[in-house]
Structure 1
Amino acid sequence: MTDTSQRTRPLRVLAAMSGGVDSAVAAARAAEAGHDVTGVHLALSANPQSFRTGARGCCTIEDSRDARRAADVIGIPFYVWDLADRFREDVVEDFVAEYQAGRTPNPCLRCNEKIKFAALLDKALALGFDAVCTGHYAKVLVREDGTRELHRASDLAKDQSYVLGVLDDRQLAHALFPLGDTVTTKDEIRAEAERRGLAVAKKPDSHDICFIADGDTQGFLAKRLGKAEGDIVDESGNRLGTHEGAYGFTIGQRKGLRIGTPAPDGKPRYVLDISPVTNTVTVGPADALDVTALTAVRPRWCGTAPAGPGTYTAQLRAHGEETEVTAELVDGHLEVTFAEPVRGVAPGQAIVLYDGTRVVGSATIASTVRVTAGAV
């Protein structure tokens, strides 16, 4: 198999430049490889702030200026495209609706699926570009029959294939990830940026959720959904306290419960269930979070869908570890059984299946089966 980051035929490439160091180096590498590269910064906020808050957030006016300066140094054309309305509808509103329904979404996956490799890619193809280039750490390999596979990055410590697990065949055919094939540390990427004269070499990484610049997810949701006082109860239904909105909690959460009454065994309690219908949050011991199986919906395959049941490894969080599973597609749903119980699995999260380093596909968790509490 060959790595598409090392394509021999020059391509017309649209490089998505966030204003950070990874996307700048990716664009520079694509240009150095001989591709005809154009940089584009996505304006995703209708009211961008002039400056980010510390290392949080992205897509600000400051970021667009950093991206433009990087494009100037690389020597490529540069544009700013306004996708704020599409981003609000497909990512932000989806994020709020999922929390309101008691689920825990991953907006980065939704952004890759709906914005970078849908809205952006569609526009790029319409303008005659061959591929969209990003600074993600992942690899696209081409098999002898011409089909493409998404694989983990060579540097597993920086691998971002989990958030790309929503990409299908068509999207992979037009994806370029120049950072995925090299085993380099972030310090080495920054050193490369500095050698190239890119001012973003020492710029802090953005983290958390890009459209919540201050990192206060609960405050962000409260502004949009309003306060709605409800009960916090134990597994027997005993009232332990109150909250100001069930949407502010996620399965497995320990901090911020504000329960005055200690547990009988003196051990910490965790969020076990969130009921948006009754606006109730149920808490209990850590071992009540152990999950043995789950059902996931809206599967997306990075290639041909599996023909029958199979054994894979699964990743449940962007920076989570792999765990062995058996999985089967049943009536359009993905039924997954874990070899060993896992903890803190929340509906709304994505499960991404792997065969070695190859990404098989992903799906959205709809329900789980627990060791002690049955289906949730």
Structure 2
Amino acid sequence: MRVLAAMSGGVDSAVAAARMVDAGHDVTGVHLALSSNPKSFRTGARGCCTLEDSRDARRAADVLNIPFYVWDLAERFRADVVDDFVAEYAAGRTPNPCLRCNEKIKFAAVLDRALALGFDAVCTGHYARVVDGPDGRELHRAVDPEKDQSYVLGVLTAAQLAHAMFPLGDTEKTDVRVEAERRGLAVARKPDSHDICFIADGDTAGFLRGQLGEAPGEVVDTSGEVVGSHDGTYGFTIGQRKGLRIGTPAPDGRPRYVLDISPVDRTVTVGAREELAVDELVGVSPRWCGPAPDGVVECAAQFRAHGEAVPARADVSDEILTVRFSVPQEGVAPGQAIVLYDGDRVIGSATIDRTSARAASPA
């Protein structure tokens, strides 16, 4: 097979490419230039879009003796990921840019170009598994639960999975570093990228302030009493506890959490933790990693990249996904992805549009 290996400059993608070479595939490495003005070095840049990363990817390709190219996707990345991220926060939602990047860039723009160039598959260093099932290829969790990235891949369709390869899905991260060292890859001890790749210093609120400007407003409690102020609703997410700038303590002295964000009137509502609990959500724009479910299905649902999947029932009707949790959940925010699992298998995902709590639900 002709395999295009997406090489970020990190240890995972380098070892993934190496395994494809060992498997006898005709491998070509490609580094995605996603920033129009990348930082020169990782110092102060916490993501995977620096010039240093590009050079590390090229050196790894040289060790593996495979062709290597850099594809400039900065304009597409800005439009589909960065601008979407800013717009979602401006609307009071909490997006996950990694999912959007996988959906729009790595397994849309890159995969489409790869297939047009005659490649059979795209390989990445994600920790997940693709398994042949009765209805085609299935997406499953990785063997290493601490590194599992199936959540951020839950946006992939069956057609995309047919051309996706994740060679690290059956491996522990510590073993990957040992393997990289054995192979003579200089990235063996390189720190993992973290946070949001296009926010170099990790200051999300500062980045959004620079994009959207200050939009001061009030922090209120559930009775409408003003208890603080803020510089922009984009600096908050549902369930947030720290950095609320509340000047008036709660009557019971307990911490308060963000319950609602209203960009229209620039209001952030806070309240007690138990008021965060929801037992139902509605998701839109569902994407299925195989055949779409028919009617109500018992499943597990995960709404954070590093959260746990919890028992739920999902009802699919007219491209609308309704998920009811067996036990009320906290911190479920519009804009997040809800990913459904059947055991280790990913069923599919949707974007959370709204949440609710039935009156009969326990606190």
Whether TM-score is above 0.5 comes out as yes
| Paired position in structure 2 for 1:142 | 132
Is the 1:55–1:205 contact (alpha carbons within 8 Å) kept by the matching residues of 2?
Answer: no
Equivalences for 1:1-376 in 2 at 5 Å?
11-53=1-43, 56-144=46-134, 147-182=136-171, 184=172, 186-370=173-357
Question: How far has the Cα of 1:143 moved from its partner?
Answer: 2.4
Q: 1:84-131 CA distances to partner (integer Å, 9 max, x unpaired)?
A: 000000000000000000000000000000000000000000100000
Distance 1:371 1:251 in 2: 18
| Distance change in 2, residues 1:266/1:371 (3 Å) | farther
Distance 1:237 1:277 in 2: 16
Q: 1:292-336 CA distances to partner (integer Å, 9 max, x unpaired)?
A: 100000000001100110100011111101100000112221011
| Distance change in 2, residues 1:373/1:57 (3 Å) | farther
Is the 1:312–1:355 contact (alpha carbons within 8 Å) kept by the matching residues of 2?
Answer: yes
| Paired position in structure 2 for 1:5 | none
Over 6 Å off, 4+ runs = none
Report the 3-state secondary structure (helix = DSSP H, G, I; strand = E; otherwise coil) of the residue aligned with 1:156: coil
Report the 3-state secondary structure (helix = DSSP H, G, I; strand = E; otherwise coil) of the residue aligned with 1:157: coil
Distance 1:137 1:119 in 2: 21
Question: How far has the Cα of 1:241 moved from its partner?
Answer: 1.1
- Where structure 2 has 5 or more consecutive residues not aligned to the other structure, the ranges are none
- Where structure 1 has 5 or more consecutive residues not aligned to the other structure, the ranges are 1-10
Distance 1:53 1:142 in 2: 42
Distance 2:29 2:86 in 1: 31
TM-score normalised according to structure 2 size: 0.97
Question: How far has the Cα of 1:55 moved from its partner?
Answer: 6.9
Is the 2:45–2:201 contact (alpha carbons within 8 Å) kept by the matching residues of 1?
Answer: no
Distance 1:332 1:135 in 2: 31
Report the 3-state secondary structure (helix = DSSP H, G, I; strand = E; otherwise coil) of the residue aligned with 1:325: strand
Is the 1:48–1:61 contact (alpha carbons within 8 Å) kept by the matching residues of 2?
Answer: yes
Distance 2:45 2:183 in 1: 23
Is the 2:256–2:272 contact (alpha carbons within 8 Å) kept by the matching residues of 1?
Answer: yes
Is the 1:55–1:206 contact (alpha carbons within 8 Å) kept by the matching residues of 2?
Answer: no
Is the 1:53–1:213 contact (alpha carbons within 8 Å) kept by the matching residues of 2?
Answer: no
Q: 1:124-155 CA distances to partner (integer Å, 9 max, x unpaired)?
A: 0010000000000111111256x111111122
Q: CA RMSD in A?
A: 1.3
Letter in 1 for 2:12: D
Question: How far has the Cα of 1:54 moved from its partner?
Answer: 5.2
Question: How far has the Cα of 1:189 moved from its partner?
Answer: 1.1
| Paired position in structure 2 for 1:7 | none
Letter in 2 for 1:159: D
Distance 1:53 1:217 in 2: 18
TM-score normalised according to structure 1 size: 0.94
Is the 1:288–1:372 contact (alpha carbons within 8 Å) kept by the matching residues of 2?
Answer: no
Is the 2:295–2:317 contact (alpha carbons within 8 Å) kept by the matching residues of 1?
Answer: no
Distance 1:262 1:206 in 2: 38
